[in-house]
């Protein structure tokens, strides 16, 4: 598959952050690389990357990179969601539930990008690896960073199930949303 990702519209989910969306959704070999190409939507920002320091999972409502990443993911900005979460992942203690959750979602976002590009092997591998991390988190922390991990895991697993039979799911309204708890 080539070309731009479909417009997901609002998909019935609220915004969690106030940061504006990039001017386009990055798709390799279709759009300019966001940080390496002078035409990229985040080219100048890449000179000073956002790297959070220590952060506290229970304070997720104030964790803008997390919230922005969720907004990006829910609107098919898969590469950009990965970038928003990567600094948080790097700052989290290795193998901790927050690190595993972020790494798993980063891999799921990459699997969705591979799905869009029609790369079955990459989509399958990344989704299997990401889902394995989400399973580990769900066993320890069923709700983390405001996300019902068990529910998200179930929906993401169902979405990627066709890859086990060499079928890529569509990038459309069936892509699972990440919904955060309002409480």
- Here the CATH number for the domain that contains residue 131 is 1.10.3450.10
Residue 7 belongs to some domain of the structure? no
Q: Which two tokens stand for residue 97?
A: 């539930």
Query: What pTM does this model have?
Result: 0.88
Domain count within the chain: 1
Q: Which of 56, 88, 52, 54 is nearest to 70 (CA)?
A: 88
What letter would DSSP give residue 59? G
Residue 15 belongs to some domain of the structure? no
| Residue 53 pLDDT | 75
Q: Which two tokens stand for residue 182?
A: 């309002």
pLDDT single digits (tens) 17-38: 999 999 878 777 666 555 655 5
CA 66 to chain centre: 10
| Residue 24 pLDDT | 79
Whether residue 1 has pLDDT greater than 50 = no
**pLDDT band, residue 13 (cuts 50/70/90):** confident
Residue 136 belongs to some domain of the structure? yes
Spell out where the chain has E strands. Answer: 143-144, 147-148
Q: Which of 18, 51, 58, 16 is nearest to 145 (CA)?
A: 58
């Amino acid at each position: 598959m080539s070309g731009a990702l479909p417009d997901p519209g609002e998909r019935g989910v609220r915004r969690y952050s106030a940061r504006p969306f990039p001017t386009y959704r990055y798709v390799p070999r279709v759009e300019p690389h966001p940080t390496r190409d002078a035409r990229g939507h985040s080219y100048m920002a890449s000179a000073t990357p956002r790297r959070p320091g220590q952060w506290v999972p229970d304070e997720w409502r104030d964790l803008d990179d997390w919230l922005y990443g969720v907004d990006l993911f829910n609107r098919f900005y898969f590469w950009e969601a990965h970038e928003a979460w990567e600094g948080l992942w790097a700052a989290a203690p290795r193998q901790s539930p927050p690190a595993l959750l972020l790494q798993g979602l980063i891999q799921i976002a990459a699997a969705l990008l591979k799905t869009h590009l029609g790369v079955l092997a990459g989509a399958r591998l990344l989704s299997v690896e990401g889902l394995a991390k989400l399973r580990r988190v769900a066993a320890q922390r069923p709700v983390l960073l405001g996300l019902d991990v068990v529910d998200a895991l179930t929906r993401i697993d169902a979405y990627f199930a066709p890859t086990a039979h060499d079928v890529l799911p569509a990038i459309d309204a069936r892509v699972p949303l990440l919904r955060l708890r309002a409480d």
